[in-house]
Amino acid sequence: MIDLHCHTTFSDGTLSPTALVTHAASAGVRLLAITDHDTVQGWDIAIEAARSAGIELLCGVELSTRLSGVSRSVHLLGYFSSRPDPAFVTWLHELQESRRIRNATLLARLQQLGVDAQWSEVAALAQQQVGRPHFAILLVRKGYVKNLSEAFEIYLGEGGKAWVGREEPTLAEALERLRIAGALSSLAHPVRISRDWKRLDQLIAEYAGRGLNAIECYHSEHSAEDIAQLSALANRHGLTLTGGSDFHGDTKPGVNIGVGLTRSPLVPALLADHLRARIGLVRSSDRNADSLLSLATRRPRRAANR
């Protein structure tokens, strides 16, 4: 199985990078990507575990970007064959700083609303990086809301009482940063932008011309109809298909690694070779790295949509 969208304790997931790898291996995942929000640190920790488990592990990241006319952040995935260069990592540190500023304002706003919450309590729920799900867990534990989705609906989401925006790069800037860093870029769960397929088509046409390489066609939130629409769209614009569960462990109950909300693999196994080649992934045991990469560049575009 393939799962190219997973979170660990380095962002808002509940499994450590090594626990994620072990869990993925036992679930039958063979090609895995860690795609934490704004950080690639989990990959460094997990790569050895992945080698021992015989899993191919991609280094990924999920970026929150802004796009005019879209009220929610637009999520963009980036995939690297190994750790990205220091310039890209420095840029990630800037994004983490904007997240820290947002978190402080968010806490102050919750306190103004009369919520009894201290920074130490929120921070204690996170291992590395604090995100809104950690605020959500605290709101549930303290009885302000019934569950995580209510926490987002009432307090933390766009339109929620404590909603705070965050300084985010534009989608165009994030694409350019990924391109320079040599990553494969993929638009995450595009249906969260819109299910107006014409509008999505126009948007993706524009960004395909600005460096977007792929779209996340397979995702826990995508219906069969979404998948059909998105793969047709990718086909029209010569984009690669990616997919993953968006596994977060206990922060997204019901979403299982490799299969999402279902019992069968989310991502067609046939995509594996193509994705490996596109991302330049080389198995740790593969000594013919160059041939794999040159194969990727020689491959006709249509192969992207197998």
- Count of residues binding Fe ion (CB under 5 A)? 3
Which range of residues in 97-105, 118-126, 224-232, 246-254 is near Zn ion by CB under 5 A? 246-254
Residues in 174-233 that interact with ligand AMP by CB under 6 A = none
The binder of 152, among ligand AMP, Zn ion, Fe ion, none, by C-beta within 5 to 8 A per type, is: ligand AMP
Which range of residues in 18-26, 41-49, 94-102, 244-252 is near Zn ion by CB under 5 A? 244-252
Residues in 41-100 that interact with ligand AMP by CB under 6 A = 64
216 scored as a contact of Zn ion (CB under 5 A): no
**Of the two residues 157 and 182, which places its CB atom closer to ligand AMP in the complex?**
157
131 scored as a contact of ligand AMP (CB under 6 A): yes
The residue with its CB nearest to ligand AMP is 131
Rg of the chain over CA atoms, in angstroms?
Answer: 19
246 scored as a contact of Zn ion (CB under 5 A): yes
160 scored as a contact of ligand AMP (CB under 6 A): no
What's the closest the beta carbon of residue 153 comes to ligand AMP, in angstroms?
7
Which range of residues in 53-61, 83-91, 148-156, 219-227 is near ligand AMP by CB under 6 A? 148-156
Among 3, 8, 10, 12, binds Fe ion (CB under 5 A): 12
Q: Reduce the secondary structure of the chain to three states and give it as a string.
A: CEECCECCCCCCCCCCHHHHHHHHHHHCCCEEEEEEECCCHHHHHHHHHHHHHCCEEEEEEEEEEECCCCCCCEEEEEEECCCCCHHHHHHHHHHHHHHHHHHHHHHHHHHHCCCCCCHHHHHHHCCCCCCHHHHHHHHHHCCCCCCHHHHHHHHHCCCCCCCCCCCCCEHHHHHHHHHHHCCEEEECCHHHCCCCHHHHHHHHHHHHCCCCCEEEEEECCCCHHHHHHHHHHHHHCCCEEEEECCECHHHCCCCECCCECCCCCCCCCCHHHHHHHHHCCCCCCCCCHHHHHHHHHHCCHHHHHC
CB 267 within 8 A of CB 285: no
What's the closest the beta carbon of residue 208 comes to ligand AMP, in angstroms?
24
**Of the two residues 65 and 81, which places its CB atom closer to ligand AMP in the complex?**
65
37 scored as a contact of ligand AMP (CB under 6 A): yes
Which amino acid appears at position 24 of this protein? A
Positions in the binding site for Fe ion (CB under 5 A): 12, 75, 188
Q: Which residues bind ligand AMP (CB under 6 A)?
A: 12, 37, 64, 131-133, 148-149, 152, 157, 248
Interaction site with Zn ion (CB under 5 A): 62, 246
